[in-house]
Amino acid sequence: MATKGLDYSELYAKDLPPAAGPWEGVYPYNFTTGHGSPDLIPIDGFIESVTRALKREGRNLAVYYSNGGPMGNLALREFLVKKLRKYRGINVTVDEVMICSGSTQCILLINETLLEPGDTVITEMFTYAGALRNAQRRKANTIGIPLDDDGMRVDILESTLADLRSKGIRPKYIYTIPTCQNPTGTNLPMDRRREMLRISQEYGVPILEDECYADLIFDGEWEHAIRSLDDTNHVLHIGSFSKSLAPGVRLGYIVAPQGVMNQMLASKIDVGTNMVTPLMVADFLENNYEEHIETVRDMLHRKRDVLIASVREHFGPTVEFYEPRGGMLMWFKFPEGVDTSKPLEAAKKEGVIYNPGADWSADPKNHGSNYIRICYGLPSEDQIRGGIERLAKVFHQEVGIP
Ligand SMILES: Cc1ncc(COP(=O)(O)O)c(C=O)c1O
C-alpha cells in the first residue's frame, strides 16, 4: 500500500517567512548583491597561503575551537587588531574581536542577544535589506531616518529619539553603515560621527556600526570608524572579508565589549566558524593585504566610472544619483511615481537583474519605490555598458523613462 507523502507544512513553526523559490541561476548582466569580481580572487596567493598554513597548523583541525578558542582563529584576530588600528583608528585587543561566518552572523548574534518582539531599532531610511529583514523577523519595529549626501541626518535621529523617549520607548540600537553606505554610497563625515556618538550616549542607545565596505574607499580621504571615538562601550562594530577578499570565504568579525561578547558567545551555537578559511585568509592578508586591496579599489574605481558614464549616456538627466567615493554599489533615483519593480521581469528576460529600491527601504510604502540599486563589483566593464543599455530600453518600454 502506498504511504501518503508527509506534509511538513503541518509541522512548521509559526510565522515563518515565505518559502524560498528555486534559484534563478546566473544572469549575464547581474547588478544585484555585493558580489566580488572573479578576476580579483587571488587564486595563486590563496593556494600558497592555504598550503603553508595547513602544513603548519592543519593537524589542529582535529580539535574543535583550536587555533584560538570559540572567538575564532587567533592569527586572523591579531591581523584584525593591527588593521583596525591602522585603517579605522580603533584600538582594541584580540579579546574584543570575534570571527564569525560573514558579518551576517554578527548581525544575527547581536539581534539574538538584544532583540525581543516589539522592540524598536533605528536604521537609515535606506539600508541593507539583510539587516532590516533580520530585525523584522524578530518582530522589531524598524524606524528609518532620512539620509542626505552626508549619510544619516543626525538632527532627525536626535528628534526621533527624543520623541520615542517621550513615549517611554528606548530603541535597542541605531544601525548605521557610515562608510560606503548600502545602498546610497554616502559617507558620514567625522563631525556627524561624533554627533551620532554623543546622541547615542545621551539616549543610552548603542550604535551598531556596520563597516562592511570600509576597505573600499578609492577616492579621497577615509574617515575613522565611529568606534574609534568611543571609550564608553556605546559602539558595536562589525566588518567583513566578503568585499575586500570574497563573499565565498564567509568571514566577518565583531568588535564588542567583553560582557556583550560573552553573552553573544553563549548564543553562537554553531560549534565554531569554519577553521580552514581563517587559516588561509590570515596567512594571505598578513603577507598581501595592502597590495591586494589597492588592486580591488582600482578595479572598483574604474567600474564606477564606466557605470556613471553608461547611465548618463543611456538614461540621461531623468535619473539622479550620488557619486560614491568607494564601495561597489550605486543608488539611482527615478522621478516620483515611477515604480522600479515593474520593469524587473522584462529586464530579466533581457538577461539583466537589479534591485528595486523598495526592498532597501525601512518604510517601503512611502519611500524607495522610485529607486534602483546597481552593484558593479561582479559585471565586467563591457557587461556594465551592455547591461545599462539594455536596462534603459526595458525601462523605456515599461515605464516610459528615459
Ligand atoms: C551593509 C552590509 N552588511 C553586511 C553584509 C553581509 O555580508 P557578509 O555576511 O558576506 O559579511 C552585507 C552584504 O552585502 C552588507 O551590504
Which residue, of 236, 261, 288, is where some domain finishes? 288
Give pLDDT, residue 175: 98
Query: For residues 334 and 308, what is the distance between their CA atoms, to the nearest angstrom?
Result: 15
* Contact status, residue 377 vs residue 342, Cβ threshold 8 Å: no
Give pLDDT, residue 100: 98
Tell whether ligand 1 has an atom less than 6 A from the beta carbon of residue 355.
Answer: no
71 and 216 both lie in a single domain: yes
Instruction: Extract the runs of DSSP E, i.e. beta strands, from 170-211.
Output: 173-176, 207-210
12 within a domain of the structure (yes/no): no
210 and 358 both lie in a single domain: no
Tell whether ligand 1 has an atom less than 6 A from the beta carbon of residue 34.
Answer: yes
Query: How many angstroms is it from 209 CA to the middle of ligand 1?
Result: 12
Atom 13 of ligand 1, residue of closest alpha carbon: 34
Best probe residue, ligand 1, of 210, 240, 253, 359 (max atoms within 8 Å of C-beta): 240
Which residue, of 244, 272, 288, is where some domain finishes? 288
Between β-strands 235-240 and 207-210, what pairing exists: parallel, antiparallel or unpaired? parallel
Query: How many angstroms is it from 310 CA to the middle of ligand 1?
Result: 26
Query: For residues 346 and 393, what is the distance between their CA atoms, to the nearest angstrom?
Result: 10
Tell whether ligand 1 has an atom less than 6 A from the beta carbon of residue 73.
Answer: no
Give pLDDT, residue 62: 95
Atom 12 of ligand 1, residue of closest alpha carbon: 212
Q: Is 235 helix (H, G, I), strand (E, B) or coil?
A: strand
Q: Which residues constitute the domain of residue 324? A: 24-41+290-399
* Contact status, residue 97 vs residue 71, Cβ threshold 8 Å: yes
Tell whether ligand 1 has an atom less than 6 A from the beta carbon of residue 123.
Answer: no
Q: What is the CATH number of the domain that holds 316?
A: 3.90.1150.10
Give pLDDT, residue 23: 87
**Counted domains in the chain:** 2
Query: How many angstroms is it from 229 CA to the middle of ligand 1?
Result: 23
Tell whether ligand 1 has an atom less than 6 A from the beta carbon of residue 240.
Answer: yes
107 and 229 both lie in a single domain: yes
Between β-strands 355-356 and 371-375, what pairing exists: parallel, antiparallel or unpaired? antiparallel
pLDDT in tens, 298-333: 999 999 999 999 999 999 999 999 999 999 999 999
pLDDT in tens, 169-201: 999 999 999 999 999 999 999 999 999 999 999
Which residue, of 230, 264, 288, is where some domain finishes? 288
Query: How many angstroms is it from 212 CA to the middle of ligand 1?
Result: 6
Best probe residue, ligand 1, of 31, 33, 98, 103 (max atoms within 8 Å of C-beta): 103
Tell whether ligand 1 has an atom less than 6 A from the beta carbon of residue 103.
Answer: yes
Best probe residue, ligand 1, of 111, 126, 242 (max atoms within 8 Å of C-beta): 242
Query: For residues 264 and 245, what is the distance between their CA atoms, to the nearest angstrom?
Result: 26
302 and 246 both lie in a single domain: no
Would you tell me how many other CB atoms lie within 10 Å of the CB of residue 191?
A: 11
Tell whether ligand 1 has an atom less than 6 A from the beta carbon of residue 357.
Answer: no
Give the rounded distance of the alpha carbon of 320 from its chain centre.
23
35 and 70 both lie in a single domain: no
The atom of ligand 1 lying closest to the CA of 329 is 16
Tell whether ligand 1 has an atom less than 6 A from the beta carbon of residue 210.
Answer: yes
Tell whether ligand 1 has an atom less than 6 A from the beta carbon of residue 126.
Answer: no
Q: Which helix (H) or strand (E) holds 320?
A: strand 320-321
Tell me the residue length of the chain.
402
Cα-trace Rg, the chain: 22
Question: What per-residue string of b and e applies to 363-392 under the rule 16 or more CB within 10 Å gives b?
Answer: ebeebbbbbbbbbbbbbeeebbbbbbbbbb
pTM of the model: 0.96
* Contact status, residue 265 vs residue 98, Cβ threshold 8 Å: yes
352 within a domain of the structure (yes/no): yes
11 within a domain of the structure (yes/no): no
- Residues (pLDDT < 70) of the chain are 1-2
177 within a domain of the structure (yes/no): yes
| Bond before 317 cis per omega within 30 degrees | no
Query: For residues 207 and 200, what is the distance between their CA atoms, to the nearest angstrom?
Result: 7
Give pLDDT, residue 1: 59
227 and 318 both lie in a single domain: no
